[in-house]
Amino acid sequence: MKIDEAQRAIKDILPEKRYVHSVGVSETAGKLAKKYGADERKARLAGMLHDIVKYFSDDELKAMILSKPGTWSDCLEYSDKLWHAPAGAVYVEKTYGIADLDILNPMIYHTTGRKQMTLLEKIIFLADYIEPSRDFPGVDEVREAAKRNLDTAVLLELQKTITHLLSKQQSVYPKTFEAYNDLVREQK
């Protein structure tokens, strides 16, 4: 699938604000890929498609996840906000025939992260947080870190996300903790 095809597809599916976010993630991911030596085309395509099923119903998302069980299926026991990530990968595989794991895995793990993330997984995880239309507290600190070191920026994002979830007494998916612990260990 070409990037402009993906862009047209999401324009039909997503509301305007989410479409702008997705284009922002795609462009930011492309820049990060160039800077950190990943495949720019794959980064831009995964970024464009990462939230494609964000507004599908919980029942539809659940059905998509159950149609292709994997190690991510345990997300069904956690927040429904996690479901669109693996479901999106199932959707683009079915709908557009995308089979490349370099596209599918960054989509699957864009919300939670996981341990031993690939370069493209880190790039999409980070681009989702720092693309230009995002404005939550602390985002500029992560944007600055992203200019210097990819792992430092991903770790900072994980720290902020986990802290935010704890402050609202929300559950934290175990793979998010594993991603955090993994990077803390590597920074030593």
| 82 part of the interface to ligand DGI, by CB under 6 A | yes
CA angle 33, 37, 40 (to 5 degrees): 40
Cβ atoms 158, 179 nearer than 8 A:
yes
Pick the stretch among 41-49, 51-59, 67-75, 134-142 that binds Fe ion (CB under 5 A).
Answer: 51-59
| 166 part of the interface to ligand DGI, by CB under 6 A | no
Cβ atoms 125, 151 nearer than 8 A:
no
Cβ atoms 85, 107 nearer than 8 A:
yes
For ligand DGI, give the closer residue by CB, 97 or 151: 151
Query: How many Cβ atoms from other residues are within 10 Å of residue 153's Cβ?
Result: 23
Query: How many Cβ atoms from other residues are within 10 Å of residue 142's Cβ?
Result: 21
Of the chain, the end-to-end C-alpha distance in Å amounts to: 40
Nearest approach, Cβ of 82 to ligand DGI (angstroms)?
Answer: 6
Nearest approach, Cβ of 18 to ligand DGI (angstroms)?
Answer: 8
Which positions from 104 through 163 interact with ligand DGI, judged by CB under 6 A?
Answer: 110-112, 128, 161
Cβ atoms 140, 154 nearer than 8 A:
no
Pick the stretch among 9-17, 122-130, 165-173, 175-183 that binds Fe ion (CB under 5 A).
Answer: 122-130
Nearest approach, Cβ of 96 to Fe ion (angstroms)?
Answer: 18
Cβ atoms 78, 171 nearer than 8 A:
yes
For ligand DGI, give the closer residue by CB, 30 or 86: 86
Q: Using CA atoms, how far apart are residues 160 and 45, in angstroms rounded to an integer?
A: 26
| 165 part of the interface to ligand DGI, by CB under 6 A | yes
Interface residue with Fe ion among 33, 128, 155, 173 (CB under 5 A) is 128
Residues binding ligand DGI (CB under 6 A)? 51, 54, 78-79, 81-82, 85, 110-112, 128, 161, 165, 170, 172-173, 176
